[in-house]
Amino acid sequence: MSPEEFRRHGHAAIDWIADYWASLDDLPVRAQVAPGDVRRRLPASAPEQAEPFDALLADLDRVVVPGLTHWQHPRFFAYFPANSSPAAILGDLLSSGIGAQGMIWATSPAVTEVEQVVLDWFAEALGLPDGFRSDSAGGGVIQDTASTATFTALLSALHRASGGVARVDGVGSEQWRVYGSTQAHSSLVKAAMMAGLGARAVRTVAVDPTTQAIDVAALRGAVVEDVESGLRPVMVHLAAGSTSTGAMDDVAAVAEAVREWDVWLHVDAAWAGVAAVCPEHRDFLAGVESADSFVTNPHKWLLTTFDCSTFWVRDRAALTGALSILPEYLRNAATESGEVVDYRDWHPQLGRRFRAIKLWAVLRTYGLEGLRAHIRSGIALAEHVAALVASDDRFEMVTEPSLSLVVFRLRAGDEQTLAAMEAVNASGEAYLSHTTVEGRAAIRLAVGSWRTTEADVDRTWRALQEAAAAEA
Amino acid sequence: MSPEEFRRHGHAAIDWIADYWASLDDLPVRAQVAPGDVRRRLPASAPEQAEPFDALLADLDRVVVPGLTHWQHPRFFAYFPANSSPAAILGDLLSSGIGAQGMIWATSPAVTEVEQVVLDWFAEALGLPDGFRSDSAGGGVIQDTASTATFTALLSALHRASGGVARVDGVGSEQWRVYGSTQAHSSLVKAAMMAGLGARAVRTVAVDPTTQAIDVAALRGAVVEDVESGLRPVMVHLAAGSTSTGAMDDVAAVAEAVREWDVWLHVDAAWAGVAAVCPEHRDFLAGVESADSFVTNPHKWLLTTFDCSTFWVRDRAALTGALSILPEYLRNAATESGEVVDYRDWHPQLGRRFRAIKLWAVLRTYGLEGLRAHIRSGIALAEHVAALVASDDRFEMVTEPSLSLVVFRLRAGDEQTLAAMEAVNASGEAYLSHTTVEGRAAIRLAVGSWRTTEADVDRTWRALQEAAAAEA
Ligand SMILES: Cc1ncc(COP(=O)(O)O)c(C=O)c1O
Ligand SMILES: Cc1ncc(COP(=O)(O)O)c(C=O)c1O
């Protein structure tokens, strides 16, 4: 592809995206395919000869679009959002074009330094403590996902708790214990499995049945009991916005409750954390200055195209202690001077693209004011949904709305609740997901897209009402 | 950013990239900055108000470009290449625009099925065994990096060797052993550290001093010795193209040598593997049908913008056994039917973007013939370098050229070798990296960019000759 062809096809790709977005409102949100449908429309082997780039664009329309559930659709309310946005897309495009590989500072210094600056900016914007800034003993890094962030938090915790022994001798037969509530994200158990502790090392702590937040006394009781039995508490995972209902564990109370043991406090605010760009929505992070690590995903609600998970630690030596290795071919004067940070020691991967440009583009192109307006609009729409639920006797709220997440059900029962949701999803009109709260089925509606309007919410609500009527 | 503004800025971003590439030839390859230079040119905080997108483009020129080592430069010969290409960039741009999140099949079926098809295509193009195809008991997945691939291979190996106990109880006090040569990539030790085995679990096996390939008898001896001491061999890591010199471990011989023990054979062909698109450069993979897993990085030499690491396993149940977790909110009919693959169980992350589009775009836009031509041109240029080395008495080859990698030194000695390389790097004329072979310093020159011509190689060689003269 010559430079001229790249310009031409590049402009066509940009236009394809703009057209795709414009078409979304008329497309069913959920893919209308059965297993194997997409695959059957593709040839069995790669082509021998080059094909024109337009052929790929044509196949996106012919094969891919019908097989997509459209996460950028204005009536996508399932899971948590994974917002893409114009600024992020173009930021990441520029990263691809630059094609720098920032495994260490020396392999392309701007990759590292822009990331440090952007993470400092973002920490300040969220009101995070100074101890997470790059000019402290801590610092931030962009992880691909919150799962990786939680995994690296656990590795750091093990490094610290073992006095550096784990990196050499492994986790051994020591009875390490990790704590999280019944509502902790499944990536906690996955992290324990990957780190060699096994799922059994995770002790699940009860939650308050109403708030779904961790029962702090029960947590303390579990730690005391374990310590008395000779087990070694290594990390407490706090959900600051749980996946199921957006429940907020009380960070300050937990920090206080486990203060006498040297356990690592990891705050998982994957979805909710970005709401802290609004000072009035920051209360749930009270106590975060006691946390050892904190993660939030701009790739969920903050307009930063997947993947971009911002992760901070208070003691970067624990993180790099767990992950550093220095082969000969990466030795260099800058690293040896200690004046720079080598991000390959901050995550499982070695190579890394210029991860920061897309978040940099988002922060600049929308400005903090624009981002606050985006968060506030999501929260206002969720309040609107809650009012709609309250206005219809057939429905009831399951938990208090949490930021832009609303969890509700049909009073008629679990079966009816799930059937109504499935009817809406199958119609393609909107897309919702389900959960279980205190043993009963519930519907989750998470607002988050920058393209969602009140009309989209109302239309979704009407579809739910019709489905509820059909179930009655 | 309105749709119209997105089109306008999008076209500008494409043009910025085309202009950046056109300017590369005149830029110093290595960044000309000291620690902190980039950071000092950026404001201390994120902007409150939105900025025009053009401001970002202006800062790329003002702040970022001077701080980059240009990996896409035609005279970048350091490490291994990390090729970006027009087709891959546009493919990934489309992935960002679609913004689908393919954590499970059901969240956007095309994300999973296109990836399965593309990995089957690519396995066939490389001549890999049928046991890696998605219609067998195995299958392929795109990992972000080879480091992650090696880590997940190790987790799979532990799952199988422990009979599924590790995921529940952890790696415990069992004395697991992992084998690799002195030339195995450092990601092997990192994987052992992350998996909870510790660096000590990796037993380093000697290499043949000439070929730098693993000494198969020594490997067998080590395994026998360990088994007799009650240790548990779990995985052998084979370098099919080592990082230092491109050394090729003999896969068939190793498979034969350790056949009586149930050890997982992981072939790390991160850099070299893609050369197998050319049937005449496939010999080094002889025996790969005995491998349990195989990784190669299209993001290195095969024109696929970082990150894209293709990874196959012969027994996908071992991989998903090590990594699967199923929270309520991800339960769905397709998963329960067993008819689909959920890729979140194939890697550490939960969320995942539409990873396959860029590789799909590369395979189609260049065709297998185009990709073979690209690989052959890199190899031919490396042969040209080897001839230049042979033609100048001051230089000597350190190892035989391996595909597109040439390793050589100044006869004068280590100090002179490193000083000559540093002089070339500092001049900005070209960029090379170093290694140590049998205790002596050497220069690595890895060809790989689609923009590198014979003139670029000759110009680099002249710079090296001048530097050598200055050292004499
Ligand atoms: C042989 C080998 N394996 C693994 C890697 C790690 O690659 P990645 O950055 O994809 O983890 C490299 C990097 O150069 C390599 O040469
Ligand atoms: C609270 C919480 N933590 C972690 C995750 C995992 O996110 P990721 O896909 O970035 O790993 C999620 C995903 O929804 C989440 O809700």
Q: A68 C-alpha vs ligand 1 centroid, how far in Å? A: 32
User: Which ligand 2 atom is the nearest neighbour of the CA of A144?
Assistant: 10
- Put simply, whether the predicted model's pTM sits higher than 0.90 gets the answer yes
Q: Quick check: B472 contacting A, CB < 8 Å?
A: no
User: Which ligand 2 atom is the nearest neighbour of the CA of B103?
Assistant: 9
Q: Quick check: B418 contacting A, CB < 8 Å?
A: no
Beta strands in A293-399 (DSSP E): 293-296, 309-313, 395-397
* Phi–psi pair at B331, nearest 5 degrees: -65, 140
**Dist CA B434 CA B417 (whole Å):** 9
Token pair in block for residue B267 = 């072939």
Site to substitute for ligand 1 among A343, A346, A350, most atoms within 8 A of C-beta: A350
Cross-strand pairs, B76: B431
Contact A144 B349 (CB under 8 A): yes
Using a CB-CB cut-off of 8 Å, the residues of chain A touching B182 are none
Q: A107 C-alpha vs ligand 1 centroid, how far in Å? A: 15
In this structure, whether the domain defined by B100-353 belongs to CATH 3.40.640.10 is answered with yes
Whole-number Cα distances in Å, B42 to A229, B13, B62, B258 = 53, 21, 10, 56
Q: B156 C-alpha vs ligand 1 centroid, how far in Å? A: 19
User: Which ligand 1 atom is the nearest neighbour of the CA of B241?
Assistant: 1
Show which of residues 315-374 on chain A sit within 8 Å of chain B, judged by CB atoms: 322-323, 325-329, 334, 337, 339-340, 348-353, 360-361, 363-370
Using a CB-CB cut-off of 8 Å, the residues of chain A touching B7 are 14-15, 18
Site to substitute for ligand 1 among B186, B238, B268, most atoms within 8 A of C-beta: B268
Report the percentage of chain B scoring pLDDT > 70: 100
Task: State if residue A351 touches ligand 1 by the CB under 6 angstroms criterion.
Answer: yes
pLDDT at position B335 is 83
Using a CB-CB cut-off of 8 Å, the residues of chain B touching A47 are 363-364, 367-368
pLDDT at position A1 is 82
Please identify every stretch of chain B with a pLDDT value under 50, giving residue numbers as ranges.
Answer: none
Per-residue pLDDT in tens (0 to 9) along chain A, 472 residues:
888 999 999 999 999 999 999 999 999 999 999 999 999 999 999 999 999 999 999 999 999 999 999 999 999 999 999 999 999 999 999 999 999 999 999 999 999 999 999 999 999 999 999 999 999 999 999 999 999 999 999 999 999 999 999 999 999 988 999 999 999 999 999 999 999 999 999 999 999 999 999 999 999 999 999 999 999 999 999 999 999 999 999 999 999 999 999 999 999 999 999 999 999 999 999 999 999 999 999 999 999 999 999 999 999 999 999 999 877 777 888 888 888 999 999 999 999 999 999 999 999 999 999 999 999 999 999 999 999 999 999 999 999 999 999 999 999 999 999 999 999 999 999 999 999 999 999 999 999 999 999 999 999 999 999 999 997 7
Other Cβ atoms within 10 Å of A358 Cβ, number: 31
ipTM exceeding 0.85, yes/no: yes
**Dist CA A418 CA A422 (whole Å):** 6
Task: State if residue B185 touches ligand 1 by the CB under 6 angstroms criterion.
Answer: yes
Nearest CA to ligand 2 atom 2: A270
Instruction: Indicate the residue of A89, A144, A173 with minimum beta-carbon distance to B93.
Output: A89
Contact B323 A194 (CB under 8 A): yes
Site to substitute for ligand 1 among B189, B251, B297, B311, most atoms within 8 A of C-beta: B297
Q: Name residues whose C-beta falls within 8 Å of residue B341's C-beta, 6 or more positions apart in sequence.
A: B105, B112, B116, B134, B139, B316
Q: B144 C-alpha vs ligand 1 centroid, how far in Å? A: 11
Any idea which fold A17-84+370-472 has?
A: Aspartate Aminotransferase, domain 1 (3.90.1150)
Classify burial at B336, counting beta carbons within 10 Å of its beta carbon; exposed 0-12, middle 13-18, buried 19 or more.
Answer: exposed
Cβ atoms of A296 and A310 within 8 Å: the answer is: yes
Quick one: angle between helices A316-323 and B187-194, nearest 10? 120
Q: A172 C-alpha vs ligand 1 centroid, how far in Å? A: 28
Quick one: angle between helices A187-194 and B316-323, nearest 10? 120
Contact A72 B99 (CB under 8 A): yes
Token pair in block for residue A159 = 């490094």
Using a CB-CB cut-off of 8 Å, the residues of chain B touching A189 are 325
Site to substitute for ligand 1 among B77, B147, B245, B304, most atoms within 8 A of C-beta: B147
Amino acid making up residue B389? V
Task: State if residue A147 touches ligand 2 by the CB under 6 angstroms criterion.
Answer: yes
Ligand nearest to the CA of A444: 2
Mean pLDDT score of chain A: 96
Using a CB-CB cut-off of 8 Å, the residues of chain B touching A245 are none
Q: B185 C-alpha vs ligand 1 centroid, how far in Å? A: 7
pLDDT at position A173 is 83
Ligand nearest to the CA of B143: 1
Pairing of strands A433-437, A440-446: antiparallel
pLDDT at position B328 is 77
CA-based nearest distance B190→chain A, Å: 7
Whole-number Cα distances in Å, B402 to B77, B375, B376, B472 = 14, 12, 13, 29
**Dist CA B165 CA A137 (whole Å):** 38
Consecutive H or E run containing A203: strand A202-205
**Dist CA A349 CA A359 (whole Å):** 20
Domain definitions of chain A by residue range: 17-84+370-472, 100-353
Name the closest residue on chain B to residue A113, using Cα atoms: B39
Using a CB-CB cut-off of 8 Å, the residues of chain B touching A198 are 166-172
Using a CB-CB cut-off of 8 Å, the residues of chain B touching A365 are 1, 50-51, 53, 56
User: Which ligand 1 atom is the nearest neighbour of the CA of B299?
Assistant: 10
Instruction: Indicate the residue of B7, B101, B145 with minimum beta-carbon distance to A71.
Output: B101
Contact A35 B369 (CB under 8 A): no
Token pair in block for residue B286 = 């002889």
**Dist CA A194 CA B166 (whole Å):** 9
Q: Quick check: A170 contacting B, CB < 8 Å?
A: yes
Using a CB-CB cut-off of 8 Å, the residues of chain B touching A195 are 194-196
Q: B382 C-alpha vs ligand 1 centroid, how far in Å? A: 20
pLDDT at position A337 is 83
If phi > 0 it is left, if psi is from -120 to 50 it is alpha, else beta; for residue B196 that is left
**Dist CA A445 CA A20 (whole Å):** 24
Cβ atoms of B318 and B346 within 8 Å: the answer is: no
Tally of CA atoms within 13 A in the half-sphere of A265 that contains its CB: 25
Q: Quick check: A46 contacting B, CB < 8 Å?
A: yes
Q: Quick check: A384 contacting B, CB < 8 Å?
A: no
Q: Name residues whose C-beta falls within 8 Å of residue A140's C-beta, 6 or more positions apart in sequence.
A: A115, A116, A119, A120, A122, A123, A132, A133, A134, A310, A311, A312
Show which of residues 77-136 on chain A sit within 8 Å of chain B, judged by CB atoms: 78-79, 82-94, 96-101, 105-111, 113-114, 116-117, 120-122, 124-125
* SS3 readout for chain B: CCHHHHHHHHHHHHHHHHHHHHHHHHCCCCCCCCCCHHHHCCCCCCCCCCCCHHHHHHHHHHHHHHHCCCCCCCCECCCCCCCCCHHHHHHHHHHHHHCCCCCCHHHCHHHHHHHHHHHHHHHHHCCCCHHHCCCCCCEEEEECCHHHHHHHHHHHHHHHHCCCCHHHHCCCCCCEEEEEECCCCCHHHHHHHHCCCCHHHEEEECECCCCCCECHHHHHHHHHHHHHCCCEEEEEEEEECCCCCCCECCHHHHHHHCCCCCCEEEEECCCHHHHHHCHHHCHHHCCHHHCCEEEECHHHHCCCCCCCEEEEECCHHHHHHHHCCCCHHHCCHHHHHCCCCCHHHHCCCCCCCCCCHHHHHHHHHHHHHHHHHHHHHHHHHHHHHHHHHHCCCCEEECCCCECCEEEEEECCCHHHHHHHHHHHHHHCCCECEEEEECCEEEEEEECCCCCCCHHHHHHHHHHHHHHHHHHC
Using a CB-CB cut-off of 8 Å, the residues of chain B touching A329 are 79, 243-244, 433-435, 444
Q: What is the pLDDT of residues A186-206, one digit of tens each?
A: 999 999 999 999 999 999 999
Q: Quick check: B187 contacting A, CB < 8 Å?
A: yes
Whole-number Cα distances in Å, A42 to A56, A59, A104, B308 = 11, 9, 40, 21
Q: What is the pLDDT of residues B16-32, one digit of tens each?
A: 999 999 999 999 999 99
Using a CB-CB cut-off of 8 Å, the residues of chain A touching B190 are 323, 325, 348, 350
Q: Name residues whose C-beta falls within 8 Å of residue A255's C-beta, 6 or more positions apart in sequence.
A: A265, A287, A290, A291
Site to substitute for ligand 2 among A71, A181, A187, most atoms within 8 A of C-beta: A187
User: Which ligand 1 atom is the nearest neighbour of the CA of B243?
Assistant: 16
Whole-number Cα distances in Å, A309 to A194, B106, B349 = 19, 23, 11
Q: A423 C-alpha vs ligand 1 centroid, how far in Å? A: 47
